[in-house]
Structure 1
Amino acid sequence: MKKAGLVVIVTHAITANKVLNKPALPTQHAMLEVVGLYCYPIKSCGRVTLTKCDITPMGLVGDRQWMLVDDQGVFLSQRTLPIMGLIDISLNQSNHHLTLNAPDMPTLTVTPEQTTGYMSVIVWKDHVKAEVAETHINDWFSEYLNQPCRLVRFGQTSQRLVDPEFTNGNKQVAFADGFPLLVTHMSTLEQLNQQLQAQNHPHVTMQRFRPNIVVKSDLKPQDEYRWDSIYNQQFKIDLVKPCSRCLVTNLDPKTASKTGNTVLSTLAQRHRLNNKAIFGINGISNQSGAITLGDQLEIHYQNTTEDQLTSK
């Protein structure tokens, strides 16, 4: 008989989810440590590594406030343009100025003030009124990506709601795929790397999954899919939906090159929810506060029901 994790159905506070490989119940006083903080000022471009950041109901301050769109106003991403991931970004956290570098391109500075006019843009199913960057900025991106494009900003008059199925009110998100925050768990990455090693695939880093907050604990892999919220005295993050995964997980973030389909196929087989590959869990903070590397967080668990229990 093959050994594998448990298959269960977990009832979330908001929606019912099927979660594979449910670990055993942890101790009641399990704690998490924040070991990674990242924001991505321009959607699908390079990350900024943080030691401390303000957190708000719209996510980490500065995260995905900018986005690239094509000449039809539709958002661009690494799904079709992997080299977007090679755009290196430095963020000045006090004035939100960006310094950009990309292969064979001059350094570019982008500031919130460098916008002129508005346009309607499309990110997934949402139409958003966004500020448009100045012409010389758009020319820089168009040259690098070898196609016409524009950089747009989520401005003060921009509005985009999180899917109301997963919220108890009118929660906003900027240009992230669907939710303000993504939390990942080191134990689950370690499990994935063991599964990849068994298939002679090199280990992958957490950057394959573009998280905002990375936590570590003594808990078992995939325990995060049973967390209802994580919190400390500064803030509380409601964890509302496991994050489904796409072909970007097959890209090496250092080179933007494809590394086969092993990562995504392993997620689809061993980290699966409703027939979709998952890794990490989306969240929304209900308060504003500061988050810092080394912070200790407590866990509030979901109420769970075990309707099905099998080994695989």
Structure 2
Amino acid sequence: MATVTELRYYPVKGCAGVGAAQAELTRAGLAHDRAFMVVDEQGVFRSQRRDPLLAAVRPAVEDDGRRLTLTAPGAEPVTVAIDTDGPRREVRLFGAPFLGIDQGDDAADWFSGVLGAHSRLVRVPPEHDRVTDGLIPGTSGYADSCAVHLLSRSSLDRFNELSGVAALSVDRFRPNVVVDGWAEPHTEDRARRIAVGDAELGYAKLAIRCSVTLVDQSSGAKAGPEPLRTLARYRRAAAGGVAFGSKFAVLRPGTLRVGDELAVGAWGASEL
């Protein structure tokens, strides 16, 4: 039986994740996941693709979602009150327009100093109604696409066997849910409906990997060419790019816990 071995959410898009033994799963993913986003002066999102130092920023949502604390090497920590009803501004994510609530000058000045470029921090507004794509559509905050990224330990073990270099840790792939117990690598590609805890997930699509996987998640420094070099040898997707892990929509919200068993209610063929 497969079980959940890690849960991780990423409060600020592109920044470090927060591990949890238990997390609420909402329609948009784990609570607080990608609820915030750093944007440039034009409102375009920043990511590790061009700002790898985001990986070294460690956010913490405190006081039941009322405060956000940000820390990074070489910078004084800052704590800001989370604004959930301030004026909206237009932001852009992969060219698509969305709205965000600006979180004030303290957060903006802090990120601008850490990244060395003008930046603002915005939060998803309560009325955010994004629809994500895939076999089963869903919603999410400021994630690249779907609400939940799930990766199995057997898939990571297989990658590390094939790479022939120092093993990469799972955080290089920034999953929300890590699963152990599936003997066959990439079983997550074929699982179409998964009951876990009192929640249910529906398969959306393969997770197509980008240059973010080249960034060391502890230092914020680029450390390529792995994993993309090895993935290009055996995980090329028919639609383009290389795939590793799968994305899921939330069919039924609930509570997830490390140790929860996964029950797959429907299977399908891999899209690879």
- Work out whether the TM-score is over 0.5: yes
Partner residue of 2:136 out of 164, 167, 172: 167
> Greater CA radius of gyration, 1 or 2?
1
Unmatched tracts of structure 1, length 5 or more: 1-30, 307-312
Number of residue pairs the alignment of both structures matches: 271
Partner residue of 1:194 out of 140, 155, 161: 161
Please report the TM-score for the alignment, with normalisation by the length of structure 1.
Answer: 0.82
Partner residue of 1:271 out of 228, 235, 244: 235
Paired with 2:77 and 2:39, the residues of 1 have a C-alpha distance of 21
1:138 aligned onto 2:128? no
Aligned to 1:37: 7
1:149 aligned onto 2:113? no
Q: Percent identity?
A: 29
Query: Which range moves more in the overlay, 185-194 or 121-130?
Result: 121-130
| Secondary structure of the structure 2 residue equivalent to 1:272 | coil
Q: Which amino acid aligns with 2:23?
A: C
Paired with 1:125 and 1:298, the residues of 2 have a C-alpha distance of 37
Partner residue of 1:179 out of 146, 162, 174: 146
Q: Which amino acid aligns with 1:203?
A: A
Aligned to 1:23: none
Q: Which amino acid aligns with 1:101?
A: T
1:302 aligned onto 2:255? no
Paired with 1:222 and 1:96, the residues of 2 have a C-alpha distance of 38
| Secondary structure of the structure 1 residue equivalent to 2:172 | helix
Q: Retained in 2: the 8 A contact 1:71–1:148? A: yes
Q: Retained in 1: the 8 A contact 2:83–2:101? A: no
CA displacement, residues 42-64 of structure 1 (integer Å, 9 cap, x when unaligned): 00001111110110111001100
Aligned to 2:43: 73
232 and 101 in structure 1: CA distance in 2 versus 1, 3 angstrom threshold: closer
Map of 1:1-312 to 2, 5 A cutoff? 31-92=1-62, 94-113=64-83, 116-163=86-133, 165-167=134-136, 171-197=138-164, 201-232=165-196, 234-274=198-238, 275-304=240-269
| Secondary structure of the structure 1 residue equivalent to 2:32 | coil
Paired with 1:304 and 1:40, the residues of 2 have a C-alpha distance of 30
Q: Which amino acid aligns with 2:90?
A: S
Q: Retained in 2: the 8 A contact 1:48–1:91? A: no
Aligned to 1:15: none
247 and 146 in structure 1: CA distance in 2 versus 1, 3 angstrom threshold: same
305 and 40 in structure 1: CA distance in 2 versus 1, 3 angstrom threshold: closer
Aligned to 1:19: none
Greater share of strand:
2
Shift of 1:291: 0.3
CA displacement, residues 100-132 of structure 1 (integer Å, 9 cap, x when unaligned): 111211111133237742210001132111111
Q: Retained in 2: the 8 A contact 1:183–1:283? A: yes
303 and 251 in structure 1: CA distance in 2 versus 1, 3 angstrom threshold: closer
Shift of 1:305: 9.2
Q: Retained in 2: the 8 A contact 1:43–1:64? A: yes
Unmatched tracts of structure 2, length 5 or more: none
Query: Which range moves more in the overlay, 187-196 or 224-233?
Result: 224-233
Query: Which of the pair has the greater relative contact order for Cα pairs under 8 Å at 6+ separation?
Result: 1
Q: Which amino acid aligns with 2:143?
A: A
